[in-house]
Chain A
Amino acid sequence: MQKFPNWHKLAVYFVLITGGLLMVAPLYWSLITSLKSPAEAFDGKWMLPIEKIHWQNYIDVVKILPFGRFFLNSLFIAASITILQVFTSSLAAYAFARLRFPGRERIFLVYLATLMVPGQVTIIPLYFIIKYFGWIDHYPGVVFPAAFTALGTFLLRQFFMTIPRELEDAAYLDGAGRFAVYWKIILPLSLPALATLGIFVFINAWNDFFWPFIVLSDTQKLTLPVGLTKLATAHATDWTRLMAGAMIALLPALLVYVIFQKFINKGIVLTGFK
């Protein structure tokens, strides 16, 4: 390991800590605000006296709008999207990676081409398709359009192609069918890739706003980000409670990140997934 002079180390840590403080300060300050009483919100103090923590904001926020329900809605919607997307795209990816069928290259190219199309192009027709199915203001209206993306298929196909074919050949000799090979050999070997895709799909679905905002309006069905905008428009200056609501939406995703960060960092570097 290289030896650095002390002044060099000092300069490095100074820059990094300043940067780190700038990244954390907004989150820290809103957390503090969420634990103050409404009267203290404007006192300009940065530190919180530990004996006076004001949990009331969190209780109030749950009374004003059903944040517990929002939390469960977000969890259910994000989990459904994740399961559906990982499962259907792994099936399709297996076909693209391993099976020969007419039109394979062309279909795959169409998949790839749609990756470039921004979501705004599809929302208007999509809205009427969802309406036709009677899914406006219902969970399937949020889940299904987000559950079949080309990106998952593309990433898993790339991963499946790196698995050596010899591993499957033995199973074929034993008389296994395609589905058995997919289920018993390919999927278990791809667990890290499936998990990475799953975590990303989950965090993105958890934070997604545009489409749920268009489809959902019944208060009982809202996801956390959509519910949060309802709180923000109805209680625009109620800062302590707004910050409590923001914390409820933020903390689960941060927790998932901190737990799985090694996985996530590696996944981003490999795939560029955001």
Chain B
Amino acid sequence: MKVSLAWSSPNPERTIAAAMRRCYSTKAIEEIETELEQKGPEYWKYLLSKALQDKSLDVLEHFVLTLLVEGTEDAEVGALARNFPYLRATRLNEADWLLTLNARTLVELWRDPQSKPFADMIVTELDRRGVCPIFNGLAFGARINAS
């Protein structure tokens, strides 16, 4: 099986941080975005780590990924779609699929022993593409440290 990233939400870590600030701020979104830009990635990291520690994973749902998954079986994708309702799968041909999921589902895949190898392939692809190094480090740190 091969996993390649087709598309992901722009600036995912700042997007998660903005969703988190939305809950606690009365400001317009532009002001929240300006505040996040000024405070920079260290502040996004602080907010993300707080969300993960508090298990407030809803904010991760605003970071979405679409993947091309090549060389996989019907049953394998079927099990994923059944067990993870926020994951959408479309068969492109014999063994290739288009999958869309959010970062919360990715964390849930990672925590499920059966799905972890698949989650690991996605995280590796995100690492390779440099999409969300802060998020990967915080959410899948054990893997990063082990490799």
Partners in one complex: no
